[in-house]
Amino acid sequence: QVQLAESGGGLVQPGGSLRLSCTVSGSFYNIATMAWYRQTPGMQREWIASGVSGGATNYPPSAEGRFTISRVANTVYLQMNRLKPEDTAIYFCNLGIRSVAGRPWKEYWGQGIQVTVSS
């Protein structure tokens, strides 16, 4: 049973940095795709970073140059720099995980973690 656990959120002042982690546990073959989304009350979930293992990464303009998605072993990270109050949201990791080599990957979501940017 694959599970995702997010950590690293919290309160940070404007201009500060946070690193979110999304750790995969359980039995699986590989992490095929990775992404981070965020959501504020009453709004749709917003894509903010994505990539494929060992490949290119992509960001919307709101995150480009400030956020970096990466992966080490079974943990996917989102490094967030120069944070702004409008970055306040619940952040979710979204991973495509392949349980067995050669089989299609399955989509998993993290539980969400609060990031608050405020002075």
Check residue 87 and report its DSSP letter.
G
pLDDT at 1: 87
pLDDT band at 22 (very low <50, low <70, confident <90, very high): very high
Closest listed residue to residue 24, CA positions, set 96, 114, 102, 100: 96
pLDDT at 50: 98
pLDDT at 54: 74
pLDDT band at 59 (very low <50, low <70, confident <90, very high): very high
Cα(79)–Cα(114) distance, integer angstroms: 15
pLDDT band at 42 (very low <50, low <70, confident <90, very high): very high
* pLDDT beyond 80 at 53: no
Q: What is the pLDDT of residues 64-116, one digit of tens each?
A: 999 999 999 999 999 999 999 999 999 999 999 999 999 999 999 999 999 99
* pLDDT beyond 80 at 47: yes
